[in-house]
Structure 1
Amino acid sequence: MIGVIGVIDMPRQAREKSSTGIYHIMLRGINRQKIFEEDKDRQKFMETILQYKTISNYKLYGYCLMDNHVHLLIRETNEAISKVIKRISSSYVYWYNQKYDRCGHLFQERYKSEVVETKAYFLTALRYIHQNPVKARMIKDIETYFWSSYNDYIDHPVITDIDFALEIFSIDRQIAIELFKKHSKENNRDQCLDYKESINTSDDEIMKCLNQLGIRTVSELQRLEKEHRNNIIRKIKNVKGCTITDLTGTINLSLCPYPCVP
């Protein structure tokens, strides 16, 4: 079928089906939009995961909540992974939009995924997920990051199904935990999902400037009247090293350019 600009519309390529039912999933904020403004938002996302874990009966082997994206290591059971992710993302976005009085998309429409077919790659993906905050230079030790499943493996699990991974290392639980810790902290060049973390100095500096100008969150900026918002943007353009691309990504200029009217 010919589109309006004279280009043949090609159907999206079907996602690869995992023979094990295990997938590494990444949900990203649209245009690098922050999806968590504060820890209460992260807590709500975790509550949403738990809610649909009960409903959809999936296995959650690992997770990591970053500022503008989320990693999940999931095994589908009686419900397809696409439906699981749709349930989680739609529920969270509905709550988030109500909380911050915003409209429109929050997540990039098509989530990224890769199949996990072997135990070796499963452990690689799990390590990659847990090392996300370290590689993004947010922390130095994965044990200090609260919003990942790492400490579920070390201590009492809250939401994570830890048995599958630990039994790969050893049937002896204490030995398995020690081997898991060693594996998780190994230096590596893992590049799962071929994604470069989008945490950078410009993002941090822009947010500091917004805070100094009395704007607490990106969502608050997006709700301002156009003229007021543009005045704020002109001021933060003076941040050292800040480019139009940085601004577009950090504050998501393409989303809801005018205040949303109920």
Structure 2
Amino acid sequence: MTRIAREKSQTGIYHIMLRGIDKRNIFINDSDYEKFIEYIKKAKEKIEFTVYAYCLMTNHVHLLLKTESEEIGDVIRRITVGYAQYHNIKNGRTGHLFENRFKSEPVDTDDYFLIVLPYIHQNPIKAGMVERIEDYKWSSYNATVGRPFSVS
């Protein structure tokens, strides 16, 4: 069966969602979250892209990215292949970590950008993990209000 082509963003900005296969956890402890962020940083050394927002949940990830010249698939592959290998070795497992293809939505207007940004940051509240957004450690929210940002 042929895959449907991904919708291209006119602005290069995408809302990306990665989910663990069978909705399994992809992050077990703090070192896993840290390692995923490290893979984002490593990808940024090789490929030009901007991280506007991220939220790492236990079984899924939201990213708001802008690609400059690379295909969005190449950016996500740079991040996820290494992390999946790390996760599988660490946890003595084999096979896919992430479910199917990642989901991507083009963000082609300022209005939509301003909808997606808080949606990403509010995930931990909606999941009942924290009461205040700023208390969630694995999100870029604090960077948007002038606190240190984890992914430079």
Output the TM-score relative to the length of structure 1: 0.56
Asked if residue 120 in structure 1 is aligned to residue 111 in structure 2, the reply is yes
Equivalent residue of 1:52, what SS? helix
Q: How does 1:1-262 map to 2 (within 5 A)?
A: 9=1, 11-154=2-145, 155-159=147-151
Gaps of 5+ in 1: 1-8, 161-262
Q: CA deviation at 1:109?
A: 2.3
Higher fraction of strand: 2
User: Identity percentage over the alignment?
Assistant: 52
Write the deviation string for residues 90-125 of structure 1: whole angstroms up to 9, x where unpaired.
010011111111111100121111000101110110
Structure 1 pair 158/36, CA: closer, same or farther in 2 (3 Å)?
Answer: closer
Q: Using the alignment, how far apart are the partners of 1:65 and 1:158 within structure 2?
A: 12
Deviation of 1:78 (Å): 2.1
Q: TM-score, normalised by structure 2?
A: 0.96
Point out 4+ residue stretches in structure 1 off by more than 6 angstroms: none
**RMSD value, Cα:** 1.0
More helix by share: 1
**Structure 2: gaps of 5 or more residues:** none
Name the structure, 1 or 2, with higher relative contact order (CA <8 Å, separation 6+).
2
| Residues 37 and 157 of structure 1: CA distance in aligned 2, closer, same or farther (over 3 Å) | closer
**What letter corresponds to residue 116 of structure 1 in structure 2?**
V
Amino acid at match of 1:137: G
Count matched residues: 151
Mapped contact 2:134–2:142 kept (Cα < 8 A): yes
